[in-house]
Amino acid sequence: MLKFDIEKKNGLARVGVIHTPHGDIKTPAFVGAATRATVKALTMKEMRELGSQAILANTYHLILAPGSDLIAEAGGLAEFSSWHGPTFTDSGGFQIFSLPDVKITENGAKFKSHINGDKFEMTPESSMQDQWKIGADVHMAFDHLAKSESYDDMKIAMERTHRWLDRCIAEHKRLLGESKGQNAFLEDHKPGRAPLSVSEKKAFDLYSCQEQYLYAVVQGGTFNDLRAESAQYCAGKDVDGFGIGGVFTADGMDEMLQTVNSILPEEKPRHLLGMGQEPIDLFVGAEYGCDTFDCVGPTRMARNGSLYTLDGRINIKNAKFKHDYSPVMEDCDCECCKNYTRAYLHHLFKTDEITAKVLASIHNEHFIVHTVDKIRESLLNDTFSEYKKEFLTRYYHD
């Protein structure tokens, strides 16, 4: 079982530490979105320096390129990407069900690669196998995204997600047993066995160095009765933690999280999938019992020149920044704000320099990671309500 220590509780909110085979995550924490095993425009060194504790890659994107076998051969996601810290993979369900010509059956989803048209089929079993090869510390169960937001479609998707969860758990357990068997085999055959090839050695190392953990994914859209049903179903399963999926807007999120997280067992970690572009999502998420978050929003906005400040977002391409020699944000100790001015960033964006995207991404990712770190701090010293009010009033002033 994935080890999770809760240091402090306040209502549903909690401060804790998730102990993964690749290191600890102090929660609440924002996890960097490394969809294709890279955070767009940032190196892993930059991610470490800006204070990121963990990354989340996407199974759908990685099976299309470079393929899960190659990542296994390279020693797993942490080794391949040189992140060397805690890692998560999302199952890819969300991306697959968003494809235009996906065919869904009870068995799984058939789709064509958006890169070269190659045909793929992903099932709960194949998603688990691919995630094991990719080798992240935490895997998400393969879930079914509803085809519309209607109650009936949400219910169908939720029920199938539950049936698929059972198949994911069975396959995860099989792989867990297999990896333990492989380790035993390796131990037994050490003296007389011919030396392992490089790829065999890496595959064995991958399996032997760590356990891998599975989160169930709670569905149910905006319907609280479905959310409650899904949380109840997932809560009873032998999994290491929970992803909360299918949340797209902060409207009603507090009530939904209150429902879900009051049902889920307290002692297991919870990840709010794909939320964190808006700071309010992170405050609400933490307040109502979520431990980790991920979102591509902060770096995506950065690449468009939209930068966080404590007074709200600014668009650095705006003419008013042409002669502005202040940093993007006063008192920000990121690499960008410590060394460069708004005028310089404005110039880099206007001339379409690659560095513009790098510096902007460093700042935005740093801003969100540290906002969550400060939420953690405020929960620890009982100032969360004050911090939330002060932050949100200033940030969303209009």
The span from the CA of 66 to the CA of 69, in Å, is 8
- Closer residue to Zn ion (CB): 12 or 334: 334
Measured from the CB of residue 334, what is the shortest distance to Zn ion in angstroms?
3
Using CB under 5 A as the binding rule, whether residue 363 contacts Zn ion is answered as yes
Listed ranges 50-58, 164-172, 318-326, 333-341: which one lies at the site for Zn ion (CB under 5 A): 333-341
Give the contact letters, 260-279, x = binds to Zn ion (CB under 5 A), - = no. Answer: --------------------
| Minimum distance from residue 26 beta carbon to Zn ion (Å) | 21
Nearer to Zn ion, 14 or 363 (CB): 363
* Region near Zn ion per CB under 5 A, out of 110-118, 243-251, 252-260, 334-342: 334-342
Question: Are the beta carbons of 346 and 322 closer than 8 angstroms?
Answer: yes
Quick one: 111 or 321, whose CB is closer to Zn ion?
321
Interface pick for Zn ion out of 158, 296, 337, 360 (rule CB under 5 A): 337
SS3 label, residue 152: helix
Residue 250 structure tokens: 């902060």
**Residue 347 C-beta: closest distance to Zn ion, Å:** 17
Alpha helices in the chain (DSSP H): 44-49, 59-64, 68-73, 77-81, 93-97, 124-134, 151-188, 198-209, 224-235, 253-263, 279-287, 297-303, 335-339, 342-350, 354-380, 384-395
Options 53-61, 222-230, 336-344, 388-396: segment touching Zn ion (CB under 5 A): 336-344
360 binds Zn ion (CB under 5 A): no
Q: How far is the CB of 328 from Zn ion (least distance, A)?
A: 5
Q: State the catalytic residues.
A: 90, 294
Q: Which of 102, 55, 70, 38 is nearest to 293 (CA)?
A: 55
Q: Pick the piece of the chain touching Zn ion (CB under 5 A) from 60-68, 188-196, 289-297, 329-337.
A: 329-337
- Asked if 332 interacts with Zn ion (CB under 5 A), we say yes
Q: Which of 57, 234, 334, 358 binds Zn ion (CB under 5 A)?
A: 334
Q: Any idea what DSSP says for residue 23?
A: E
In the complex with Zn ion, which residue's Cβ is closer, 20 or 361? 361
Q: Is the peptide bond before 124 cis (omega within 30 degrees of 0)?
A: no
Residue 120 CA: distances (Å) to CA of 64, 93, 102, 123, 124: 9, 13, 10, 10, 13
8 and 379 Cβ atoms separated by less than 8 Å = yes
Tell the burial category of 85 from Cβ atoms under 10 Å away from its Cβ (0-12, 13-18, 19+).
buried
Residues in the interface with Zn ion (CB under 5 A) total 5
Task: Please state the closest distance from residue 266 (CB atom) to Zn ion, in A.
Answer: 35
CB of residue 338 vs Zn ion: minimum separation in angstroms? 8
DSSP annotation of 210 reads -
b/e string for 252-261 if b means 16 or more Cβ within 10 A?
A: ebeebbbbbb
From 1-9, 43-51, 216-224, 324-332, give the range in contact with Zn ion by CB under 5 A.
324-332
How many Cα neighbours within 13 Å face the side chain of 40?
18
Q: Cα angle vertex 347, ends 345, 353, to 5°?
A: 80
Residue 199 or 341: the one with the smaller Cβ distance to Zn ion is 341
Please identify, using beta-carbon distances, which residue of 59 and 371 lies nearer to Zn ion: 371
- Residues near Zn ion, by CB under 5 A: 332, 334, 336-337, 363
